[in-house]
Amino acid sequence: MPETKSSVRLDQETPAAAAPQEGQAELPAELRQRVVIDRVGPEVDAGRFPVKRVVGDVVVVEADIICDGHEELDCRLQVRQGISGEWQSLPMACQGNDLWRGSFPAASLGWWHFDISARIDTFATWLRDLGRREEAGERTQIDLQVGAEMVLAAAQGAPEAIQLEMEQLALQLQSPAWAAAASSDRLRELMASCADRREETHLEQPRSVWVDRERARWSAWYEVFPRSWALEPGRHGTFADLADRLDYVHAMGFNVLYLTPIHPIGRSFRKGRNNATTAAADDVGSPWAIGAEEGGHTAIHPQLGTWNDFHSLRRRAEELGMELALDLAVQCAPDHPWVKEHPEWFRHRPDGSIQYAENPPKKYQDIVPFDFQCDAWRELWQALGGVVRFWVAQGVRIFRVDNPHTKPFAFWEWLISDIHRTDPDVLFLAEAFTRPKTMYRLAKLGFTQSYTYFTWRTEKEETAAYLVEVSTPPVANFFRPNFWPNTPDILHATLQTGSRGMFQVRLTLAALSVGNWGIYGPAMELLESQPVKPGSEEYADSEKYEIKQRALDFPESLAPFIARLNAIRAGEPACRSAAPPLIQAIDNPHLLAWCRYEPAEKSRVLVVVNLDPDTPRRGQLRLDRKALELDQAGSIEATDLLTQATHLWPLEGIDLDCTPAEPVRLYRLIPR
Amino acid sequence: MPETKSSVRLDQETPAAAAPQEGQAELPAELRQRVVIDRVGPEVDAGRFPVKRVVGDVVVVEADIICDGHEELDCRLQVRQGISGEWQSLPMACQGNDLWRGSFPAASLGWWHFDISARIDTFATWLRDLGRREEAGERTQIDLQVGAEMVLAAAQGAPEAIQLEMEQLALQLQSPAWAAAASSDRLRELMASCADRREETHLEQPRSVWVDRERARWSAWYEVFPRSWALEPGRHGTFADLADRLDYVHAMGFNVLYLTPIHPIGRSFRKGRNNATTAAADDVGSPWAIGAEEGGHTAIHPQLGTWNDFHSLRRRAEELGMELALDLAVQCAPDHPWVKEHPEWFRHRPDGSIQYAENPPKKYQDIVPFDFQCDAWRELWQALGGVVRFWVAQGVRIFRVDNPHTKPFAFWEWLISDIHRTDPDVLFLAEAFTRPKTMYRLAKLGFTQSYTYFTWRTEKEETAAYLVEVSTPPVANFFRPNFWPNTPDILHATLQTGSRGMFQVRLTLAALSVGNWGIYGPAMELLESQPVKPGSEEYADSEKYEIKQRALDFPESLAPFIARLNAIRAGEPACRSAAPPLIQAIDNPHLLAWCRYEPAEKSRVLVVVNLDPDTPRRGQLRLDRKALELDQAGSIEATDLLTQATHLWPLEGIDLDCTPAEPVRLYRLIPR
């Protein structure tokens, strides 16, 4: 049976026209827009979130722009700096297949917005067709008259002088001198300025770009517990001790000095060594248990020193090219002054006691979480924003945010944008070791950088795939990975059982694949590897719960190797580039090879690491000559960036060895 | 130099708290929403356009739904039929990794909308934690009290009877019989119905689904020029002639009979045979030059018959399971009555003459385009809508739209949705042989089916890639390909030089890879292959400009082969499925293999075509056992759908031959 229904009278000979239908609405004027803009890029979630860039980047905007028929289009990129700047109009050019492109330099920090305007250029269409008619010998006086009428119509409403000029040009278009008028730049310019833009198509909303300073994308972090840096055994370290020994950190080439929390530490339910539930009298406690009678998030732990000491440390770091990063842990110890001053910010149990942190049956009685949903939430959020503003006023411009995934998304989006409203140079690193979609969401809503799953990617294929995923659009438009081989919370199994070579491999992977990396020191360079118990990723005698003084002059120390990695990062433009690492084929399942490539500087760096570093492994490398633009080269000059030895390689059949003595191979490549 | 700026006075010992910042706005209440919904599917352009489905489909909705912390979520799919129906709430379930899924049957034609609601389920979280505490032996009376308080709070504002019942349950929760209360379905139900939904998260806008009847996705078209179907040589054919010979079309198994335009044909500038610029006195003209003194788009060409003849043809087709499709060509011949009645709908040149169609220097003087941008555009659009409504009232439910890409996108979006408002069973096929992005845009804005580039895909890799592209999401969510081996405008080079085998290959590719296909007959089954000149895709002596009568009993006719293809399409559930063709590996560059698979019906069809059909080719097939769910099979029973021979195949190492006699191989596969 056919699926149609029929309302036909068979006796009718000439059916009547259909009557207008009920419910037909007046057609709105917007339906006259004929140009359509589609697939705009770069964008994040159709413009819900900004794309991230750094100062100096050129933002390349592309879109599919189509229209019915065959008319010429005039497409412009409209760019606005800040949230209330003036729109600037820039040209876009068609790249073929209806793809249009324009670009603008992100010349300063903060918000940028772009829009696209596209209209049918009737005059350009007429000019194009006039040329074709002339070429075919079919140009008539009427064709010229059509153009002249366009010019006269456009002149309506222009200032009188312009109107007169256009009337002259319209006359000339119909005279024997028509060709000079038709091809004049002046006429084109006048027609563009008089164009009817009422039916111009725009994006349904402007897209936004957040522009950070370069350190957002290119940073090397060194994490320390300041209290461990006293020289005298057993003494609680101070800011002054750390300042005295900053040369050591500086020599390794780091540019961010990240201090674990520096605030007074709670005494109630203080944790003892190795996370013991009861602390001994002299146990120093976890710095993340923030707040005691000496103060809360805006106070300094008295044993670390004074405000002057803090500022001296900050200035000393700055002299050495390092910025301080502070830890922002949005939680309280039970002794935090706010617990008494603002009980309305916390959840209470029916017996009146305050609700400590828990993930039943686990209990964290030394930590009291804020109740972000409390009735006084606005005051709470403003107070927490005030904490960040306080430290910003002390000259701190980088925050490492502890566990942001346990606080509401909307809080972070509000907090970061509110700080950025006045201080667009502030950077936030999200420590969100949580589920993948939550990690990405936090990046979208404003975090500058993010900790990642890098630490747990140890096999060749999964590591390569992960490097590509987190460094390539669309993810790279909103997410900036920060790779850490270790943290005070994470001593990965590879390091627990690994040789010095394995430490070198993990350091190289972190330092030379993406723009941001960091280590928890001196544990990393001193090869600390003892877990608290088998199967745990916690360090034995964790510095989180005790002072840990080390001999930094350990002969096996990797400090010189780390210094070399940071020097390569700084010295080779490819390692400072926003371009993602390019995985290279190498025919050994234990060898992972990638290149960094910066075309503008013609800088190419090749990295090969042996993921099984205690066994010698050999592989034949097949460079991706197209991606690396090596097709024109006859051979390649490869400079070993660890030994400075130089080799001349063929383009094909490059054999590389990784031995236990040389588990990573680093080369600068120059085509010859 | 560090990049920070500092606003610090070094002499300060205890910095003051930061003052509130200017420009801080009151925090809006929406910030309390803690749940985030992301990556909703299916959707087209973030909900700008509907997803397309057919009646009976189950619409599976997925989204990433995340929240800070560890609380339980309650996520619901909200579904509304029509544009003003009632919202129905359906469950969603977490599939792991924060992916939630729900579904609803698209039970009727027209618009459907869906939304997602997601909230934190505090009570479910408490229940879960209570279980964990109990298991760890740490459940306290206070924990029960917390739950009881939740129940009492939820009861506020409930009807008195409910309130009393909940108060009883709250008491019970604190009694020795707490476990029975905590685990009662009734309490869960009451708590869900009393839940505070003020902070529930919804999609920023509901997503829409357009539901067509099945013929939107599964149709077989046969295109005819009715005037060629008279039996007597030289007579102008009529609707009655075609009706008399419909058995011939029916026998081939088509279910859409598409008539080229049936309206009066213009006389001014009429084209002669082979597109000659001047017509002889007896030349019949192109049916696409619509309109003469006898009438325009709502009239029938007098030589085709009367309205009764038209309806008899329509009824005869319906009796045979075929629907009529009419051509909708939105353009006029210069003699069209509207040219005189509505000069305001057309563009005029300065000399007062009407502007004919042109693409300089090419001129189409027999065609006058509408000026969609004219001042009277609303009346014009409504009049064109009236044309469609007129034919809908005559029982026509399928339109093949000529060159939609030369009319504004907004016009089509308005027209199709306006017709669908009252007649959701009407189908529109877009003949947009234009640029890829325009082709897809037209599909998004409402066209039911689309002509494609299929005709020009002839090599293995490009054909395989194209089959996948147009039949797989995201494209398949809005685009329904209709594959044509030929049309009156396109005699592809493969057919000009190809053997009967090549015709079979092109027919098989079109008929068995996607849901919609069509041919221009009888040219196709009668193997017509002569181009008007070398290098042209125009037929010699094109039926567009003359009557072309054929002997349908041509011995080499492919009509029986076509009948078999359509019988397989109808008889094998896999060929009627919405699932895309699955390309199968076969190790010969001239052989292309794919499977259709419908899991619910356990129906599997294998198609192998030889793209170089005059040379025998052999290949070893490697079935994708995972995608085809053949992993459990020991062997495969393969029934040849052309010969009915049955083979028992191993799972690996299936050798297939395509000879010039058997250029296509078709099998039903059953795992054994």
Q: What is the ipTM of this complex?
A: 0.91
**pLDDT tier, A157 (very low <50, low <70, confident <90, very high otherwise):** confident
Cβ contact B378–A26 (<8 Å): yes
CB contact under 8 A, B38 and A98: no
- pLDDT above 70 covers a percentage of chain B that reads 96
Nearest CA-CA distance, residue A60 and chain B, Å: 21
Catalytic residue selected from A431, A525, A572, A612: A431
User: Chains A and B: how many Cβ contacts under 8 Å?
Assistant: 253
The chain B residue lying nearest A418, using CA atoms, is: B24
Distance from CA of B218 to the nearest CA of A (A): 13
DSSP assignment letter at B581: P
CB contact under 8 A, A373 and B34: yes
**B535-552 confidence digits (pLDDT tens):** 999 999 999 999 999 999
Nearest to A7 by CA among B215, B298, B389: B389
Q: What is the pLDDT of residue B20?
A: 53
Per-residue pLDDT, A17:
63
The beta-carbon neighbor of B142 closest among A349, A410, A411 is A349
A402 included as an active-site residue? yes
pLDDT at A20 over 60: no
pLDDT at A473 over 50: yes
- Among chain A residues, the shortest Cα distance to B348 is held by A146
**Each residue of A527-555: pLDDT tens digit?**
999 999 999 999 999 999 999 999 999 99
Determine whether the interchain pair B441/A31 forms a contact, defined as Cβ–Cβ distance below 8 Å: no
What residues of B are in contact with residue A351 (Cβ under 8 Å)?
A: 142, 145
Q: Which of A121, A223, A402, A528 is catalytic?
A: A402
Mean pLDDT confidence for B589-601: 97
- pLDDT above 90 for A131: yes
Confidence of residue B8 (pLDDT cuts 50, 70, 90): very low
How many Å separate Cα A20 from the centre of its chain?
Answer: 55
A389 CB neighbours in chain B (<8 A) are 18, 21
Q: What pTM value is reported for the model? A: 0.93
A-proximal residues of B, 140-159, CB under 8 Å: 142, 145-146, 149
Helices (H), A156-300: 160-173, 178-182, 185-193, 239-244, 246-251
Residues of B (287-346) whose Cβ lies below 8 Å from A: 298, 306-308, 311, 314, 317-318, 321-323
Taking residues A288-302, what's their average pLDDT?
Answer: 97
Give the angle B225-B227-B231 at the CA atoms, nearest 5°. Answer: 115
> What is the pLDDT averaged over residues B141-158?
94
Q: Kindly state the average pLDDT of the residues A208-237.
A: 97
Residue B11 has what pLDDT? 43
Chain A hits for B10, CB-CB cut-off 8 Å, are 308, 311
- pLDDT exceeds 90 at position A9: no
Strands laid side by side in the A603-610 sheet: A646-649, A636-640, A664-671, A603-610, A591-598, A582-586, A617-622, A654-658
Beta bridge pairs of residue A103: A60
Neighboring chain B residues of A15 at a CB cutoff of 8 Å:
298, 307, 390, 393-394
> Is B66's CB within 8 Å of A136's CB?
no
Is A489 touching B (CB cutoff 8 A)? no
In angstroms, rounded to a whole number, what is the distance separating the alpha carbons of residues B453 and B466?
8
Other Cβ atoms closer than 10 A to A6: 16
Distance from CA of A260 to the nearest CA of B (A): 20
In B472-529, which residue ranges form alpha helices assigned H by DSSP? 493-497, 500-513
Of B138, B350, B414, the CB nearest to A145: B350
Task: Compute the nearest-CA separation of A418 from chain B (Å).
Answer: 8
**Residue A371 touches chain B, beta carbons under 8 Å:** no
Is the pLDDT at A635 greater than 80, yes or no? Answer: yes
Enumerate the residues of chain A whose CB falls inside 8 A of the CB of residue B200: none
Give the pLDDT of residue B71: 94
Q: pLDDT tens across A567-594, in order?
A: 999 999 999 999 999 999 999 999 999 9
- For residue range B278-314, list pLDDT tens digits in order: 999 999 999 999 999 999 999 999 999 999 999 999 9
A137 to chain B nearest CA, in Å?
A: 9
Whether residue B244 lies within 8 A of chain A, CB to CB, comes out as no
Whether residue B21 and residue A409 make contact (CB cut-off 8 A), yes or no, is no
End-to-end CA distance of chain B: 74
User: Which of B4, B20, B132 lies closest to A397 in CB terms?
Assistant: B4
Residue B561 structure tokens = 């082969």
Which residue, B71, B27, B51, B61, is CA-closest to B203? B61
pLDDT the model gives residue B319: 98
User: A390, B438: Cβ pair inside 8 Å?
Assistant: no
Question: B362 and chain A: CB distance < 8 Å anywhere?
Answer: no
**Candidates B129, B142, B214; nearest CB to A350:** B142
The Cα of A63 is separated from the nearest Cα of chain B by a number of Å equal to: 11
Contact A351 B12 (CB under 8 A): no
Structure tokens at B651: 């799972």
Q: What is the DSSP letter of A232?
A: S
**Residue A14 DSSP code:** S
Burial, A76: exposed, middle or buried (Cβ in 10 Å; 0-12, 13-18, 19+)? buried
Which residues fall within 8 angstroms of residue A292, CB to CB, at 6 or more apart?
A264, A265, A266, A267, A333, A335, A336
pLDDT digits (tens, 9 = 90+) for A499-528: 999 999 999 999 999 999 999 999 999 999
What is the mean pLDDT of the segment spanning A634-641? Answer: 96
Q: Choose the mutation target among B7, B24, B30, B31 for the interface with A, i.e. most A CBs under 10 Å.
A: B31
B198 CB within 8 Å of a chain A CB: no
Q: Which residues of A touch B69 (CB under 8 A)?
A: 405-406
- Among chain A residues, the shortest Cα distance to B432 is held by A68
CB A66 within 8 A of CB B441: yes
Comparing CB atoms, the residue among B4, B21, B378 nearest residue A27 is B378
- Percent of chain A residues topping a pLDDT of 70: 96
Q: Name the β-bridge partners of B212.
A: B54
Cβ-based contacts of A446 with chain B (< 8 Å): none
Among A127, A40, A112, which Cα is nearest to A75's? A40
Summarised one tens digit per residue, pLDDT across range B321-379 is: 999 999 999 999 999 999 999 999 999 999 999 999 988 888 888 999 999 999 999 99
Mean pLDDT of chain A: 94
Catalytic residue set of B: 402, 431
CB contact under 8 A, A15 and B129: no
Q: Best mutation site among B9, B32, B68, B145 for testing chain A: the one with the most A CBs within 10 Å?
A: B68
Which chain A residues touch B20 with a CB distance below 8 Å? 382, 386
Give the C-alpha separation, A81 to A83, whole Å.
7
Is the confidence at residue B18, as pLDDT, over 80?
A: no
Q: Phi first, then psi: what are they for B426, rounded to 5°?
A: -80, 135
pLDDT per residue over A173-190, tens digit each?
A: 999 999 999 999 999 999
Cis peptide bond N-terminal to B361, omega within 30: yes
Asked if A129 lies within 8 A of B410 by C-beta distance, the reply is no
pLDDT of residue A656: 96
Contact B621, B654 (CB under 8 A): yes
A247 Cβ contact partners less than 8 Å away, ≥ 6 residues apart: A320
Are A406 and B69 within 8 A, CB to CB? Answer: yes
Give residue-wise pLDDT tens across range A49-74: 999 999 999 999 999 999 999 999 99
Chain A nearest C-alpha distance from B646 (Å):
33
* DSSP secondary structure letters along A284-316: ---TTSB-BTTBSTTS--GGG--HHHHHHHHHH
Per-residue pLDDT at A197: 87
**A198 reaches B (C-beta below 8 A):** no
